[in-house]
């Protein structure tokens, strides 16, 4: 087995890249640090959408067409909850619900989220190690034209329609990295920031005290790569482009790179963004130009291979 690779991951975009990466390197070499800023309590359940999206995708159980949840899902319990007047805007499937029952029950017993996540992954046959960035409560809220909204309220219930004015990360003062997170970064041969929303997927991970510092230190001698979440001025998935605009940023690959300038030293641009290469290089990043649009599993593997092959012989490929 070669050296460890650490990946920072949000939801769908990250999960797709990681399913390619897990074909290119031995899955057991991967440690994935997942976003918990999207987590929520809903109808009594503790839900961790990004962790689940990564786990389900790596287990080969995800509904790839839809981008979230499980394949062959049914919604009978949700229908029933709706009949009782409970909230039903979050599309909780019957199979998926089992994960939330399990998590909710264990958390209530005092088991840490990182241990719950480990057990979920073990049960589903997920081979990479998936760690939440923190076991502590961290919540992303979105300051919008309709007020300060919980993330899923903005993202799912309101379908990202409200204009974004700011991002509020609650809990970052006191959150501590989950067990294994800093250790994994310290000993990593390379770090990859997946193509996820830099503001609300990667941002909450970086906001956990200690993680960004560890990445900065890592980038002093080892490759810390990021795959652009913006292609041709747009996010392939989700509202990253609109959010960036709302915060006064250009929705451009180079602008995303700039958000990572203090700890990323390799930036992966999509071919259509090749003209931005000089701008990214000015941030002291090595630039890789390749096709980053992952329309199928072959494209995911191809992207993963392109990234890994550029990160140097230290990875033992």
Note the residues at the interface with its own copies (CB under 8 A). 43-45, 74, 76-81, 83-86, 93-99, 101-102, 104-105, 108, 119-120, 123-124
Residue whose CB is less far from its own copies, 93 or 246: 93
Residue whose CB is less far from its own copies, 61 or 167: 61
Q: Are residues 149 and 141 in contact, defined by beta-carbon separation less than 8 angstroms?
A: yes
In the complex, least distance from residue 97 CB atom to its own copies, rounded to whole angstroms:
5
In the complex, least distance from residue 35 CB atom to its own copies, rounded to whole angstroms:
22
In the complex, least distance from residue 307 CB atom to its own copies, rounded to whole angstroms:
33
Phi, psi of 274 (to 5 degrees): -50, -35
In the complex, least distance from residue 157 CB atom to its own copies, rounded to whole angstroms:
18
Residue whose CB is less far from its own copies, 26 or 115: 115
Residue whose CB is less far from its own copies, 89 or 245: 89
Residue whose CB is less far from its own copies, 132 or 246: 132
Residue whose CB is less far from its own copies, 58 or 240: 58
In the complex, least distance from residue 77 CB atom to its own copies, rounded to whole angstroms:
5
In the complex, least distance from residue 198 CB atom to its own copies, rounded to whole angstroms:
33
Residue whose CB is less far from its own copies, 119 or 234: 119
Q: How far apart are CA 283 and CA 280, in angstroms?
A: 5
Phi, psi of 107 (to 5 degrees): -60, -40
In the complex, least distance from residue 119 CB atom to its own copies, rounded to whole angstroms:
7
């Amino acid at each position: 087995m070669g050296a460890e690779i650490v990946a920072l991951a949000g939801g769908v975009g990250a999960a797709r890249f990681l399913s390619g990466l897990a074909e290119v390197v031995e899955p057991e070499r991967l440690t994935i640090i997942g976003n918990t800023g999207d987590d929520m309590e809903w109808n009594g359940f503790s839900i961790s959408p990004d962790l689940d999206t990564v786990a389900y995708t790596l287990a080969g159980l995800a509904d790839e067409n839809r981008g979230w949840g499980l394949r062959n899902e049914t919604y009978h319990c949700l229908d029933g909850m709706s009949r009782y007047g409970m909230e039903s805007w979050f599309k909780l499937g019957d199979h998926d619900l089992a994960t939330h029952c399990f998590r909710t029950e264990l958390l209530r017993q005092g088991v840490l989220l990182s241990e719950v996540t480990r057990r979920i992954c073990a049960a589903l046959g997920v081979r990479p190690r998936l760690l939440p960035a923190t076991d502590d409560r961290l919540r992303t809220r979105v300051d919008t034209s309709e007020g300060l909204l919980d993330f899923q309220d903005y993202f799912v219930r309101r379908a990202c329609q409200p204009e974004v004015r700011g991002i509020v990360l609650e809990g970052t003062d006191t959150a501590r990295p989950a067990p294994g997170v800093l250790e994994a970064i310290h000993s990593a041969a390379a770090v990859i920031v997946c193509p996820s929303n830099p503001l609300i997927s990667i941002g909450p991970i970086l906001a956990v005290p200690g993680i960004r510092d560890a990445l900065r230190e890592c980038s002093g001698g080892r490759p810390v790569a990021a795959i652009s979440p913006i292609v041709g001025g747009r996010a392939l998935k989700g509202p990253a482009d609109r959010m960036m605009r709302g915060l006064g940023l250009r929705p451009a690959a180079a602008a995303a790179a700039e958000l990572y300038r203090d700890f990323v030293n390799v930036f992966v641009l999509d071919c259509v963004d090749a003209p931005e290469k000089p701008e990214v290089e000015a941030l002291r990043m090595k630039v890789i130009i390749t096709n980053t649009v992952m329309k199928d599993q072959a494209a995911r593997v191809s992207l993963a291979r392109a990234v890994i092959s550029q990160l140097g012989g230290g990875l033992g490929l």
